[in-house]
């Protein structure tokens, strides 16, 4: 959600130098696989029929429940893939540890979102679908060392800030079953944000302006 924010993360990094296995997770075929970690190569499969969801959580009028659930599902899927890459490519043990927690929690969040979506007859691809989501995976796959840690942490912080705002709105605006899902997820999203900020501070990564 608010995936356009990720573009700023990539630009800032470039200027400064950035569940349980889930076999259904896929990334658009346009993402290069050469040099990608094995877990990413396994996830990158032909997905030409996946719609390009460029929804913006801040748009007015507010998201309806279908838009919110689709954004939640693709958002969780993107977080899982990004964190799986970080488990293999991060240079800092603190970043790797954070990534392991993100994989676990976003896999659980994905399962929760999919169940709620099924209950209200909403379907969504369990994969990155927006250009920004796909570009994030491509960028992370291409980076290594401190540059990778910087982009991963900055992107994680900005994405979770945006998600928290979106989920808070959903608690107030969505039908009760969807609002209950959002309420369940908020403490985890807030914990992720705090943890990412702490890791950034510990590893000397600038998060100013985020």
166 upstream amide cis, omega within 30 of 0: no
Mean local confidence (pLDDT), 176-205: 97
Q: What is the pLDDT of residue 1?
A: 53
- Domains of the chain with CATH codes: 4-47+64-202 (1.20.1260.10)
* pLDDT value of residue 61: 72
pLDDT band at 159 (very low <50, low <70, confident <90, very high): very high
User: Tens digit of pLDDT for each residue in 123-143?
Assistant: 999 999 999 999 999 999 999
| Of 107 and 51, more confident | 107
At residue 62, the pLDDT reads: 83
Answer with the residue of higher pLDDT: 186 or 7: 186
51-65, 88-102, 144-158, 186-200: range with lowest mean pLDDT = 51-65
Q: Is the pLDDT of residue 85 over 50?
A: yes
- Mean pLDDT, the chain, rounded, equals 81
Whether the pLDDT of residue 144 is over 50: the answer is yes
This prediction's pTM: 0.74
The pLDDT score that the predictor gives to residue 208 is 81
Q: For the ranges 6-15, 112-121, 195-204, which has the lowest average pLDDT? A: 6-15
44-74: pLDDT as tens digits = 443 434 455 554 444 457 899 999 999 999 9
Asked which of 15-24, 97-106, 172-181 is least confident by mean pLDDT, the reply is 15-24
């Amino acid at each position: 959600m608010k995936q356009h924010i990720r573009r700023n993360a990539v630009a800032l990094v470039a200027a400064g130098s950035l569940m349980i296995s889930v076999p259904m997770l896929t990334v658009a075929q346009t993402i290069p696989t050469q040099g990608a970690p094995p877990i990413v190569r396994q996830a990158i499969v032909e997905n030409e029929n996946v719609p390009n969801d460029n929804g913006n959580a801040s748009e007015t009028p507010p998201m309806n429940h279908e838009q919110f659930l689709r954004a939640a599902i693709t958002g969780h899927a993107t977080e899982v893939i990004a964190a799986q890459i970080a488990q293999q490519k991060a240079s800092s043990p603190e970043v790797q540890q954070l990534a392991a927690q993100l994989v676990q929690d976003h896999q659980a969040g994905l399962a929760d979102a999919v169940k709620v979506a099924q209950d209200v007859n909403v379907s969504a691809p369990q994969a990155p679908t927006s250009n920004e989501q796909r570009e994030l995976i491509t960028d992370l796959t291409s980076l290594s060392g401190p540059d990778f840690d910087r982009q991963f942490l900055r992107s994680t912080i900005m994405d979770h800030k945006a998600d928290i705002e979106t989920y808070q709105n959903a608690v107030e605006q969505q039908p009760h079953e969807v609002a209950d899902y959002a309420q369940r997820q908020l403490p985890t999203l807030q914990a992720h944000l705090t943890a990412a900020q702490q890791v950034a501070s510990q590893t000397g990564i600038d998060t100013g302006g985020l």
